[in-house]
Amino acid sequence: MKLLHIDSAITSNSASRELTHYIVDRLTTEGDQVQHLDLHAQPIDHLAAVSLGFRTGQQAATQAERDQNALSEQLVSQFLDADTIVIGAPMYNFSIPSQLKAWLDRLAQAGRTFRYTEKGPEGLAGGRRVIVVSTRGGQYAGTPFETAMDHQEAFLRTMFGFMGIANVEIVRAERLAMDRDGSLAAAKAHIDATLTAPVAA
C-alpha cells in the first residue's frame, strides 16, 4: 500500500495530528510506503497569478512560474500515486485550515483529477481511499445548525467527490473543548472498530 499522510493543524499537540498518526499506525504494515506531508511545517503557497499555469495552460515565462508549476505537478502526482490518503482536518472558524485549502487547490487540475465532458465534470481520481480526521471544539454533527455552520466536512466531501472519490470516510472527534480525553477515546474506539476492515468496492 502507498499511503499519503496529511497534517494541517497549526499546533503540534493537536487532536487531529494525534488521530492521523493513530490511524496510520494501524493501517500500515512492514513494506507499506508512507509519505507524510505537514502543511504547517512546510506550507504551500496559496494560489496567485504566478501559480495559475496549470489551470490556464499558458507556458511559464518566468522562473517563479516554472517553480510554481513544478510544485503543483509534484503535489498532484504524489496524490495520484497514493492508494490511501489520511487527512487531518481540524475545524477552524467553521471550515478547514487555509493550509489544507492551498493543498486542495493544487490538486484540482483539469485532465489530472477531473475533466469536463458534454455531460458535465467527471472525476478522474476514483479508486482511492480517503480518510478524513475531522476535529471540532464544539458539537456539530446531528444538531439543527450543522448544515448551516459546517463548511468543513461538507467542503471536503464535495472536493473529493468532484475528483471522483465518492466514499470519503470520516473519523470525527467533537466536543474537544469540553471533554478532550473522552472525545479522543471515542474516536480511537471508532478507528479500532471500523478502519481495519477492507474498503467496500
As annotated, the binding site for FMN includes 14-16, 91-94, 135-138
164 backbone φψ class: left, alpha, beta (φ>0; ψ -120 to 50)? left
C-alpha cell at 60: 511559464
Beta strands at 84-90 and 129-135: parallel, antiparallel or unpaired:
parallel
Q: Compute the radius of gyration of the chain from its Cα atoms.
A: 17
- A 10 A CB-CB count for 32 gives 13
19 contacts 171 by C-beta, under 8 angstroms? yes
Contacts of 8 (CB under 8 A, 6+ apart): 16, 39, 40, 87, 88, 89, 90, 96, 97, 99, 100, 103
113 contacts 78 by C-beta, under 8 angstroms? no
* Annotated binding-site ranges: 14-16, 91-94, 135-138
Contacts of 1 (CB under 8 A, 6+ apart): 27, 28, 32, 33, 83, 84
